[in-house]
Amino acid sequence: MKKNPREHIALITGASAGIGLELTRKLLSEDWQVVALNRSDFPKEDMSIQNAVKDGLLRIYKTSDLSDYVSLRQTLEEIKDKEQRIDILFNNAGGSFPKLSYSKQGREKHYELLTVVPYIILMELKELLKIGSLKTVINTSSSAQKFTKEFTIDILERPKTFRKLIGPYAISKLALSLWTQAIAPQLSEDDIMIRSVDPDGNNTLKKGKASGLPFLVGVLMKLFFPPPTHGADKLYEGAIGEHRNKTGVFLVKGRVAEIKFLDQARNVLERIQAIYEHEFLQRNS
C-alpha cells in the first residue's frame, strides 16, 4: 500500500471498455481510486491499468450480466462488504443492441439495463455514497432521447416495434433522465446530488461485435466521431464541473438541456421502485 492513500473513490459500471475505460484511466491519472463493476476484463496489455490493480488503486468486481439479478445481487453484496465509501457513482454500463431482446425478468433489455439496473445499483450503494465526500451520482444518458415521439411505461417494457438507436435505446435513455429528475429531491435529503449526462458522440465501435447502430450512423461514427476519451471528459465535467451543485438536471454539451415527457417522470420512478422492491429485494429475502 502507498503511504498516502488517494483521497477520492469513484465507482464506474462498464469500466473495462469504451468511455468507461477512458474514464477509469483519467481518474487513475488524477490520483483517484476506482472501483470497477464490469462484465468483461480490462485490457491485459494496459500496464497502467494492471499496475493500478496490483497497487489496490483499481478494484474490480465482476458480474456475468448486469441485467441478471442473481449475478448483480452477489456482486453488489461483495462491494458493500469490501468497500468503505463511494464519492462518485458513474452509472455508465450498457450499449445498444442490434435486435429486440428481453432480460431474464421478461422486460425489454435496453430498458432493463439502461433504466432499471442503474436505479438498483444506486439504491444498493446509497449508504456508501452517504459516507463519501462528494456524494454524487452521474447517469450516462443520451441525446438520442430527443427522437422519442411517444412515451409510455408499456412501450418501455414491451415495445411494439424495434428501431436501432432511436427505438428502445433512445426511450430507455429518456426514462433514465426522467427518473434522475424525479428522484433528485429525495436524494437531496441525504445530501446526494444526481445528474444525467450525454457523453456526446464517440467512436466506441468494437470489432466483431454486432452493432445496435443504423448502418449509416456506424459509418459516420467510424470516420468522424472522436475517441471515447471525449465522452469520458464529458462525464468527468458533469460530475465535478460547473454544474456540480445542480441536481436532477440533464446535461448536453456542458449545458442543462430539456427533458421530454417530464409529466411521466414520477410514473417511471414509481415503476422502477416497484421493480426494485418486489423483484430485486423480495427475491433476496
> How many CB atoms within 10 Å of residue 177?
30
Question: First vs last Cα of the chain: how many Å apart?
Answer: 37
CA distance 38 to 43: 12
| Tens of pLDDT, residues 129-151 | 999 999 999 999 999 999 899 99
> Residue 214's pLDDT is what?
62
The whole-number average pLDDT for the span 233-249 is 97
**What pLDDT was estimated at residue 201?**
76
Average pLDDT over residues 71-79: 97
Rounded Cα gap, residues 115 and 16, in angstroms: 20
Q: What is the pLDDT of residue 225?
A: 66
Q: Note the pLDDT tens digit of each residue in 107-131.
A: 999 999 999 999 999 999 999 999 9
pLDDT of residue 5: 52
* Alpha-carbon distances, residue 183 vs 115, 162, 186, 187 (angstroms): 13, 29, 5, 6
pTM higher than 0.75: yes
Handedness of CA 253, 116, 18, 54 (dihedral sign): positive
The percent of residues above 70 in pLDDT, for the chain, comes to 89
**pLDDT given for residue 205 in this prediction:** 57
Is 43 a residue whose pLDDT tops 70?
yes
Of residues 94 and 239, more confidence is placed in 239
Mean pLDDT lowest among 24-33, 79-88, 194-203, 273-282: 194-203
- The answer to whether residue 215 scores a pLDDT higher than 70 is no
User: What residue spans of 134-167 are helical by DSSP H?
Assistant: 153-157
Predicted confidence band of residue 2 (pLDDT cuts 50, 70, 90): very low
How, if at all, do strands 250-252 and 255-257 pair? antiparallel
Do the beta carbons of residue 282 and residue 195 sit within 8 Å? no
Domains of the chain: which residue ranges?
9-200+227-284
The residue with cell 466483431 is: 208
Predicted confidence band of residue 203 (pLDDT cuts 50, 70, 90): low
**Does pLDDT of 4 surpass 70?**
no
Answer yes or no: are the C-beta atoms of 136 and 184 closer than 8 Å.
no
Query: Distance between CA 185 and CA 214 in Å, rounded?
Result: 37
Residue 247 is predicted with a pLDDT of: 98
User: Closest Cα to residue 93, out of 3, 18, 145, 7?
Assistant: 18
Higher pLDDT, 221 or 231: 231
Cβ partners under 8 Å of residue 273, min gap 6: 119
Q: What is the CATH number of domain 9-200+227-284?
A: 3.40.50.720
The average pLDDT across 70-87 equals: 97
Alpha-carbon distance 55 to 59, whole Å? 9
